[in-house]
Amino acid sequence: MSHDEFPTDELAVVTCGLPYANGDLHIGHLRGYIGADAFARALRTLGQQTAYVCGSDMHGTPVAVNAEERGVDPEEFALEWHEQYAETFPKFAVDFDNYGHTHDETNTELTREIVRTLDDEGYIYEKEIQVAYDPAADQYLPDRYVEGTCPYCGEKARGDECDEGCQRHLEPGEIENPTSVRTGNPAEYRERTHKFFRVSEFADYLTEFLDGLEGTSNARNQPRQWIEDGLQDWCITRDMDWGIDYPGTEDEDGDDLVLYVWVDAPIEYVSSTKQYSERVGSDEYDWEQVWKGDGEIVHVIGRDIIQHHTIFWPAMLEAADYNAPRGVAATGFITINGKGLSTSRNRAIWAKEYLAEGFHPDLLRYYLTTTGGLQQDVDFSWSAFQEKVNGELVGTVGNFLYRSLLFAYRNYEGTPEVEVSEEVSERIEGAIGEVRDSVNGYDLRGVGQATTRLAQFGNEYIQRNEPWKLTDDDPEAAAQVIRDCVQLAKAVAVLGEPITPGKAEALWTQLGEDGSVHDAHIEDALEAPPRHFEEPSELFEKIEDDRVDELETQLEARIEESASGSGSESSTATDETESDDTDEGQSESMTDEDDGTTASADADTDDLEPLLEDRIGFDDFQDLDIRVGQIETAEGIEGADDLARLEVDIGFETRQVVAGIKQLHDLDTLPGTKVVLLANMEPAELFGVESNGMVLAAGEEADLLTTHGDAELGEKVR
Ligand SMILES: [Zn+2]
């Protein structure tokens, strides 16, 4: 199945993964909502009639657990966050056509209707399964109420997802060594009857679906692998009372059985579209035409929820006889100063913090979209932000607009009365083509860069033609150059609208245009601007160095404060549908297996890991900053069976390191021991403790490496 290029004659809907209504919004969220907003705007600029909808995810254990911690009712708790989100998004020019929530009547009704259809069509069956249960709390432990070990990769995992390891969705009963989040007690398994959706029957359908799916490549490749590994049916009910009741049943014990949050969450995409449709009237926008007809459905999601959107969701839509998504774009992760964004460590840029600093939302929009597009990982630092703003928005775009429009105003009181040149109109047509191709390739960076390059061309054009030298000698040539520049400025407004809508609107007004640039069509970039306009002002303001220093210092202090404060706080506190805490791939045990270099001569080599065939150069070895250190403190980490927190003096400073040696050494005897430490290991966070280096050890017993002469602390191993 291949699709006609955007714009098509069909209605389109763009959605973004629902935020769990359980905590403050941060840059990790904003990245997705801004990206999806820019994509929806870009589609509209191409002439595609598009609705951009979303809603808060009110249900599920992420909300219930947090509400319980605060001792409030989950509905009240979630509604408060919902209202805050609905207020915050527009401040970043994230303008949803509808922003609902999963607990409202529209979604509750529609969810029940769809589940009833699945049931009527024979796609749902009952099965007895083992469910984690906390006898002390007398409570079943669905999803995030339980933690343990991932059966697939062995990493620490939550009840429903292997968030720190292989990212797999986990079914109830799958997690090993289950522990209750409520009491910290080991959980027991009890038999319960639950409802299952026959996802396994959709393997062929989904394979074909993925072949035609547009969006980002990561959203196609991962699910192909999952299908190949064999699809399991999906448990769609939970033993909880917060959620949407399974239609028509209360089970025989009178216990509550609600739908798994991942059933009603994506249905909110449909419900929110329906609410929009009901508000504007179905003549204007008919939700059924989109969701039951041939509309263009595009989902923007976090990378951690690909499985839900490319396996479960399309299978559900197909089973209920709904339309299939056209595109799924899965955003990468966000790091802050090169380290994983962590809400529990306060290593994040918060939405309200950014707003309080008084930066224009378009600056962040521009940074995020032109750095990461929809798919790439984004690193944020205040200095990189400053560099992008000062270099591209102030230096290139702002500079071109101000110098050319000011010149036009002073010499012509607006747009000189000549036709735009062939060269410049061709250049604008080229930029239009770039934007079209970028939208069709789900390439937001391309959309942003097309505008910046156009402004860059404008700067070169004005520099090359030097109109200020021509006004006396060759006034016609001068008028031509400025006429061209005003046209380029108008094109910058039209093409830049999806990424920087506020600044584009201001520019539109400066050009004396009527109406709003938000309603402009991409071809308007070639239409003549109005004859007269007022004196322009500068659109972008430089960010000064000392401001950035201050922001960097604030951030560092905050992270440090949170590290020295109640560091043992559970990391389950604030996580979202959007990917955030991204210490991915860094949580391997610090001493396992990677020490094949110390095989002793008398060992039975059958038991040893084979030597690596691949040789490395001396330069590669030089990349490892290995130092002599001395353990100062060693203590176990609460809640972690194997991990110890060490403080290691390495001459220059004392490092906190997490090592998997709790069971293997008597921790009390370790202080004073000289060790060898890999100092430039990427920091990782384990059980809420930052590990800033790796103590080298050999073999399964974690035999600590040391020195035997008088090497001083901090000396390099070479
Ligand atoms: Zn795993």
pLDDT at position 610 is: 66
Main-chain phi, psi angles of 362, to 5 degrees: -65, -25
Binding site: residue ranges? 150, 153, 162, 166, 343
Is 480 within 8 Å of 421 (Cβ atoms)?
Answer: yes
pLDDT at position 273 is: 98
Mean pLDDT of 359-384: 95
Mean pLDDT of 447-465: 96
pLDDT at position 607 is: 59
Is 269 within 8 Å of 287 (Cβ atoms)?
Answer: no
**How many whole angstroms separate alpha carbon 346 and alpha carbon 486?**
46
For residues 356 and 568, which has the higher predicted lDDT (pLDDT)? 356
Binding site for ATP: residue ranges? 343
Q: For residue 84, how many C-alpha atoms fall within 13 Å in the half-sphere facing its CB?
A: 16
pLDDT at position 255 is: 60
pLDDT at position 1 is: 59
Main-chain phi, psi angles of 507, to 5 degrees: -65, -40
In the reported structure, the alpha carbon of residue 293 is separated from the centroid of ligand 1 by a whole-number distance in angstroms of 38
For the cut 80, the answer to whether the pLDDT of residue 602 exceeds it is no
In the reported structure, the alpha carbon of residue 174 is separated from the centroid of ligand 1 by a whole-number distance in angstroms of 11
For the record, the structure tokens of 534 come out as 């007022």
For 50-101, the pLDDT digits (tens) are 999 999 999 989 899 899 889 999 999 999 999 999 999 999 999 999 999 9
For 96-143, the pLDDT digits (tens) are 999 999 999 999 999 999 999 999 999 999 999 999 999 998 889 999
For the cut 90, the answer to whether the pLDDT of residue 642 exceeds it is no
In the reported structure, the alpha carbon of residue 457 is separated from the centroid of ligand 1 by a whole-number distance in angstroms of 49
Mean pLDDT of 594-616: 52
In the reported structure, the alpha carbon of residue 588 is separated from the centroid of ligand 1 by a whole-number distance in angstroms of 12
Give the residue ranges of DSSP H helices in 327-360. Answer: 351-356
- The SS3 of residue 378 is strand
- The SS3 of residue 233 is coil
Residue 190 β-bridge partners? 131
Of 106, 72, 147, 140, nearest to 570 by C-alpha is 147
For the cut 90, the answer to whether the pLDDT of residue 660 exceeds it is no
For residues 592 and 507, which has the higher predicted lDDT (pLDDT)? 507
In the reported structure, the alpha carbon of residue 154 is separated from the centroid of ligand 1 by a whole-number distance in angstroms of 6
**How many whole angstroms separate alpha carbon 326 and alpha carbon 76?**
36
In the reported structure, the alpha carbon of residue 197 is separated from the centroid of ligand 1 by a whole-number distance in angstroms of 23
pLDDT at position 585 is: 28
- Across 366-425, the runs of DSSP E, i.e. the strands, are 378-380
In the reported structure, the alpha carbon of residue 709 is separated from the centroid of ligand 1 by a whole-number distance in angstroms of 43
**How many whole angstroms separate alpha carbon 681 and alpha carbon 690?**
12
- Banded pLDDT at 645 (limits 50, 70, 90): very high
In the reported structure, the alpha carbon of residue 309 is separated from the centroid of ligand 1 by a whole-number distance in angstroms of 19
CA angle 552, 556, 559 (to 5 degrees): 140
- Banded pLDDT at 592 (limits 50, 70, 90): very low
Main-chain phi, psi angles of 204, to 5 degrees: -65, -45
- Tell the burial category of 557 from Cβ atoms under 10 Å away from its Cβ (0-12, 13-18, 19+): exposed
In the reported structure, the alpha carbon of residue 165 is separated from the centroid of ligand 1 by a whole-number distance in angstroms of 4
Mean pLDDT of 452-460: 97
In the reported structure, the alpha carbon of residue 339 is separated from the centroid of ligand 1 by a whole-number distance in angstroms of 22
Main-chain phi, psi angles of 517, to 5 degrees: -65, -20
pLDDT at position 565 is: 63
In the reported structure, the alpha carbon of residue 169 is separated from the centroid of ligand 1 by a whole-number distance in angstroms of 9
Give the residue ranges of DSSP H helices in 292-398. Answer: 306-307, 313-319, 351-356, 361-372, 382-388
Of 173-182, 260-269, 354-363, 431-440, least confident by mean pLDDT is 173-182
For the cut 80, the answer to whether the pLDDT of residue 259 exceeds it is yes
**How many whole angstroms separate alpha carbon 122 and alpha carbon 33?**
36
In the reported structure, the alpha carbon of residue 163 is separated from the centroid of ligand 1 by a whole-number distance in angstroms of 7
In the reported structure, the alpha carbon of residue 586 is separated from the centroid of ligand 1 by a whole-number distance in angstroms of 13
**How many whole angstroms separate alpha carbon 459 and alpha carbon 485?**
9
- Across 91-243, the runs of DSSP E, i.e. the strands, are 98-101, 124-134, 139-140, 146-149, 156-158, 176-180, 188-197, 214-215, 234-235, 237-238
For the cut 70, the answer to whether the pLDDT of residue 582 exceeds it is no
Main-chain phi, psi angles of 645, to 5 degrees: -100, 125
In the reported structure, the alpha carbon of residue 365 is separated from the centroid of ligand 1 by a whole-number distance in angstroms of 33
Is 213 within 8 Å of 331 (Cβ atoms)?
Answer: no
- Across 291-403, the runs of DSSP E, i.e. the strands, are 296-302, 327-331, 334-336, 339-340, 378-380
In the reported structure, the alpha carbon of residue 572 is separated from the centroid of ligand 1 by a whole-number distance in angstroms of 17
**How many whole angstroms separate alpha carbon 297 and alpha carbon 13?**
5
Backbone region of residue 167 per phi and psi (left: phi > 0; alpha: psi in -120 to 50; beta: other values): left
Q: What are the percentages of helix, strand and coil residues in the chain, rounded to 5?
A: 45, 20, 40
Amino acid at 175: I
For 535-580, the pLDDT digits (tens) are 999 999 999 999 999 999 999 999 888 887 643 333 333 333 333 3
In the reported structure, the alpha carbon of residue 170 is separated from the centroid of ligand 1 by a whole-number distance in angstroms of 9
Strands 626-636 and 674-678: antiparallel
Is 481 within 8 Å of 465 (Cβ atoms)?
Answer: yes
For the cut 50, the answer to whether the pLDDT of residue 596 exceeds it is no
- Banded pLDDT at 257 (limits 50, 70, 90): confident
Number of H helices, E strands in the chain: 21, 27
Of 451, 502, 441, nearest to 92 by C-alpha is 502
Per-chain mean pLDDT for the chain? 90
For the cut 50, the answer to whether the pLDDT of residue 604 exceeds it is no
In the reported structure, the alpha carbon of residue 153 is separated from the centroid of ligand 1 by a whole-number distance in angstroms of 4
In the reported structure, the alpha carbon of residue 375 is separated from the centroid of ligand 1 by a whole-number distance in angstroms of 22
Contacts of 177 by beta carbon, 8 Å cutoff, 6+ apart: 148, 149, 186
In the reported structure, the alpha carbon of residue 161 is separated from the centroid of ligand 1 by a whole-number distance in angstroms of 8
In the reported structure, the alpha carbon of residue 717 is separated from the centroid of ligand 1 by a whole-number distance in angstroms of 35
CA angle 91, 93, 96 (to 5 degrees): 105
Is 439 within 8 Å of 490 (Cβ atoms)?
Answer: no
Of 382, 324, 342, 399, nearest to 555 by C-alpha is 382
DSSP 182: T
In the reported structure, the alpha carbon of residue 148 is separated from the centroid of ligand 1 by a whole-number distance in angstroms of 11
Longest dimension (CA), the chain: 95
Is 331 within 8 Å of 32 (Cβ atoms)?
Answer: yes
pLDDT at position 344 is: 81
Binding site for Zn(2+): residue ranges? 150, 153, 162, 166
pLDDT at position 664 is: 80
pLDDT at position 583 is: 32
In the reported structure, the alpha carbon of residue 513 is separated from the centroid of ligand 1 by a whole-number distance in angstroms of 56
DSSP 694: E
- Banded pLDDT at 606 (limits 50, 70, 90): low
Amino acid at 103: H
In the reported structure, the alpha carbon of residue 162 is separated from the centroid of ligand 1 by a whole-number distance in angstroms of 5
For the cut 50, the answer to whether the pLDDT of residue 584 exceeds it is no
Of all residues in the chain, the percent with pLDDT exceeding 90 is 72
Q: For residue 140, how many C-alpha atoms fall within 13 Å in the half-sphere facing its CB?
A: 23
In the reported structure, the alpha carbon of residue 640 is separated from the centroid of ligand 1 by a whole-number distance in angstroms of 17
For the cut 80, the answer to whether the pLDDT of residue 600 exceeds it is no
In the reported structure, the alpha carbon of residue 172 is separated from the centroid of ligand 1 by a whole-number distance in angstroms of 14
For 393-416, the pLDDT digits (tens) are 999 999 999 999 999 999 999 999
